[in-house]
Structure 1
Amino acid sequence: MDSRTIDIEKKLRGYLFGMACADALGRPVEHLTLEQIKEKYGEGGISELPPNSPWTDDTQLMLVLSRGLLHGAELELPGLMDKIAEELVLWLDEPDLGAGATTRGAALNLNDGIHWSRSGLNSKTCGSLMRVGILGFIFRNDPEKLIKAALFSGRITHFHPVADAASIAGAYAVKLALDGVSPDEMFLPLLRVTEGISDEFTEALKGSYEMAHSSLENKEALQKIGQGWYADETFALAYFCILRYPDDYKKAVQTTVNITGDSDSVGSVAGGILGARLGLEAVPISWIEALKEKELLEEMVAPLLEKYLQVSQNKLRS
C-alpha cells in the first residue's frame, strides 16, 4: 500500500469514527436543553464518552448508504439510487435507533413499491444531510457525480430545497476536508455548489461564517443559528463549530453537542468533516475505545477503501 493510500485510509477511519463518536456523545443529550445538560453533567456539559456508548440513527443510516455505495458506486446514478433504495428497505428491519418520521416514511414508501424518485417526503429536516458525508469520500475525485449523488440520494427521503442544499454541502464538505481545505477556505466552494438551490440554506451558511468570525461567545452564536432540527441549521451549527476549532476535533465536537437542539446530528456532521480532515489520530482514543459496536465501522474500512480506489481509477480512465 503506497503512502497516499495509507493517508486516505487514515482519513476514512477519521471520518467513520469521527462521525460515530460525535453521534454517540450527542445521543444522551439530544432532547435536553442546554440548561438541563449543565444541570446533569456540570457547567462544561457532556464532555466524555462512557464505556459501551451506542450511536444513533445518524451513523446507522450512514452505514446504510455506505452499503448502497459498495453495491453500486461505479454505476450510473439511476442504478446507484436503486441500490441505495434497496438498502433503505432492508434498514426497516434493523433496530430503531431514533430515526425521524421522514426517513422511515420514505423507506416505507419504497417498501410499498413506490419508485425512489417519488418516495421522498416534503421535509427540510436533517435526515438526508447526516448520512451523506460518505459520498464525499467515495466520489472525492469526481465532484460532478458527488454533487448529483448527494442531491438524488437525499431526495429518496427528503424532497425539499433546504434538504437538497444541505445534502450537497454535507457531502462536498467531506470532499474538501479530504483535499486538505481548511474550514475557513470551504466557505466559497460550499456557496458555489449550493448556489440558487435554497435561499434559507444560503442565509444560514453565510450567517454561520459571519458569526464564527465575530466576537460572539459560542453559546450566544449557537442560539442565534438555531437548534438543528432543520437541515440548514444543522449544517450551519456544525460549520460554526469547525470554523471555531478547525484543528481541535474534541473541542469542536464538545461544542456541537452542548446545545439546546439536535445534538447528535450536529455532532455527527461536524465530527465527520473534521475527522476526514484531521484523520483518525485527532479522535480521542478513549472515545473510540468506548464506542459500542466499533467493529462494525472497522469492517467497512477495507471495502470502502477498495470502492474509493475503483471509482477514482474509473474516473481517471474516462
Structure 2
Amino acid sequence: MGATTGAVWGRAEQQDFRSRVRGTLLGAAVGDALGSPVRGLGMEQIRAAHGAEGIGEPAFGHGRRGAVSHLTQLTLFSLDGLIRAQVRRDTGAWHPPTDLHRAYLRWASTQRDWGPDERRKEDGWLAREEWLYARRDPARSCLTGLGDETMGTPEAPKNPDDPGAEAAARSAPFGLLVGWEPELVMQLAVECAAQTHGHPTACLSAGAHAVVVHGLARGESLDTAVQRALQLLAPRPGQQPVAEALQRALGAVRQGLPSPARVEDLAGAGTADGLLSVAVYCALVGEDTRHGLRLSVNHGGDSAVTGALTGALLGALHGETALPPSWLAELEGRPTMLVLADDFAMEMTQGPALHGPAGSSPGWLARYPRGYAALPGGAPVPAL
C-alpha cells in the first residue's frame, strides 16, 4: 500500500485544512459529549429528563458538563498514531496499522493505570495527559481486542462476531489523510478496525466513514463523498449491509421532516451500519451543525456513537467555526484536542521541515518518538 506524498501546500490551503482537521476532531468530541448523557435511554426517558424536544445542550455526565467518552479518547489516539506513522517513515520501516495498534495499546494503558508513567518517554506527550486516564465506559471489545500485544488483522481479526460501531467512531482521522487515495484510506480504516471489531459490518462501516470524511476534507459535497464510499464498498465481501444502510440514509432525506422515529428506524439494531446511516442522514438534513447534532442524539440507541460520527462529518464539511461555541467552551480536553489537531495538520503539510534526511527537530521527535522498529513479536515491518 502506498500514499501520495510531496504535495506543495499554499498558505490558504494549509489554513483550510487545519480548520477541517480541528472541525473533525472537535465535532466528533462535541457530538460524543452531547450524546453520552442519554446513551441507551429511550425517547420517553430523554424527554422526561430534558424536555419535549429532547436533549438540546451538553448535560452533566461523568461529573461535569461536556465530558467525553472512550470514543473520543480513542479518536485522539488514532490521530496520534497517524502522526507517529509519518514520523517513523524516515526509518524505512513504514506500516501504519502497526503504529495505530501501538497507539491503541497506549490508550489501553490509560484504562489500567492510575496515571502517566513519566519514565516511558517512548509514549510521547499524549499518553502523559492525565485527563485521559479517566475510564469512560469503554466497550468490552475495545478492552479485549487490546488486552494483549497481538494485533488483529482482516485475516485474523479480534472479536470477529462484534458488529458494533466503536471502531467506526474512532476512524474519522483516517479520512484526514487527504494526500492518500480513497481506496487506501478505506483499507487502513478496515485494517485498524479489525484490531478490536472484526465483523465485516464493523470493519466496512469504519472504512466507509473514513472515506466520507476524506471526501469532505478535500472539499467535496456530502452526497459526492457518500457515493464514492458506495463505489469502494461494492467489490468487498460482506459489504451489502453497509451499502444498503448508506442508501437508506440518502433515501430518507426525501421522506419528509426529520424526526426521532426516522432516526431510530435508520439505526435499526444498533450495529455499525445502522449508526453510520444515522450520521449520514443527520449531516444531510441538519439545518445547521447544531440542529444536525441534536437530531443525531435524540433517539433510543447509542447516542454517543451517532453524535461522534455525525460531528466528525459536519466538522470535516464545514470546519471548526461551524461548531456551537458554547458547546466547545465546556468541552472536556479541548486544549489537548487543539494542540493535537494542529500538530497533525503541521505534520501532514510541513512534515519534511520537521524530520527527514536533512535533519530533524528534537522537540518534534520527543513529542512523537519513532520508537520500535519491528512488529509485535519481533517480525520485520513490511512496507505498506
TM (normalized to structure 1)?
0.90
Please name the residue that 1:220 is paired with. Answer: 261
Is 2:225 the counterpart of 1:189? no
Match of 2:381 in 1: none
In structure 2, runs of 5+ residues without a counterpart are 1-9, 111-133, 354-384
Specify which of 261, 275, 280 is matched with residue 320 of structure 2. Answer: 280
1:231-270 superposed matches below 5 A: 231-245=272-286, 248-270=288-310
Change (3 A) 1:149 1:311: farther
Residue of structure 1 aligned with 2:71, choices 47, 51, 58:
58
C-alpha distance after superposition, 1:96-142 (max 9, x if no partner)? 2122111111000xx2x323334511111011100011011124543
Deviation at 1:238, TM superposition (A): 0.6
The CA distance in 2 between the partners of 1:161 and 1:311, in whole Å, is 34
Counterpart check, 1:67 vs 2:80? yes
1:209 and 2:250 aligned: yes
Partner of 1:116: 152
CA gap 1:100/1:62 in 2 versus in 1, 3 angstroms = same
Structure 1 CA distance for aligned equivalents of residues 144 and 179 of structure 2:
30
Secondary structure, counterpart of 2:243 in structure 1: helix
> How many angstroms apart in 2 are the aligned matches of 1:192 and 1:275?
23
Give the drift of 1:311: 7.3
Shift of 1:202: 1.5
* 1:216 Cα offset (Å): 5.8
Structure having the higher helix fraction is 1
The alignment status of 1:92 with 2:133, answered yes or no, reads no
Q: CA RMSD in A?
A: 2.2
SS in 2 for 1:292: coil
2:22/2:342 contact within 8 Å kept: no
Instruction: Say if 2:178 and 2:217, in contact at 8 Å, map to a contact too.
Output: no
C-alpha distance after superposition, 1:208-242 (max 9, x if no partner): 11112212642232122125731101100111111
Matches of 1:168 and 1:244, distance apart in 2: 23
**Partner of 1:37 in structure 2?**
46
Q: Cα distance, 1:78 vs. partner?
A: 6.6
* Cα distance in 2 between the residues matched to 1:262 and 1:227: 11
Distance 1:181 1:270, change over 3 A: same
What residue in structure 2 maps to residue 103 of structure 1?
A: 142
Q: Encode CA deviations 1:122-180: one digit per residue, 9 max, x unaligned.
A: 11101110001101112454323212211111111111211122011111111111122
| Equivalent position SS for 1:304 | helix
Residue 97 of structure 2 aligns with which residue?
A: 81
Instruction: Indicate the SS of the match to 2:95.
Output: helix
Count matched residues. 309
Q: Partner of 1:9 in structure 2? A: 18
The CA distance in 1 between the partners of 2:31 and 2:190, in whole Å, is 24
Q: Is 1:163 paired with 2:202?
A: yes
Contact (CA 8 Å) 2:211, 2:225: kept in 1 or not? no
Equivalent residue number for residue 185 of structure 2: 146
TM-score relative to the length of structure 2? 0.75
Does the 8 A contact of 1:81 with 1:116 survive in 2?
no
**Alignment identity in percent?**
23
> d(CA) in 1 for partners of 2:351 and 2:212?
19
Unmatched 5+ stretches in structure 1: 314-318
Match of 2:173 in 1: 134
Residue 338 of structure 2: aligned partner: 298
For residue 316 of structure 1, what is the aligned residue in structure 2?
none
**Conservation of the 8 A alpha-carbon contact between 1:139 and 1:145:** no
- Structure 2: which amino acid aligns with 1:271? G
- Distance (whole Å) between structure 2 residues aligned to residue 191 and residue 291 of structure 1: 33
Q: Distance in 2 between matches of 1:238 and 1:77?
A: 36
Partner-residue secondary structure (3-state), 1:243: helix
Residues 82 and 116 in structure 1, CA contact (< 8 A), matched pair in contact too: no
Counterpart Cα distance in 2 of 1:189 and 1:292: 34
Distance in 2 (alpha carbons) for counterparts of 1:9 and 1:257: 27
Cα gap change, 1:239 to 1:140, in 2 (>3 Å): farther
CA contact (8 A) 1:250 1:283 kept: yes
Among 318, 337, 347, the residue aligned to 1:307: 347
Secondary structure in 1 matching 2:58: coil
Deviates most, 207-216 or 236-245: 207-216
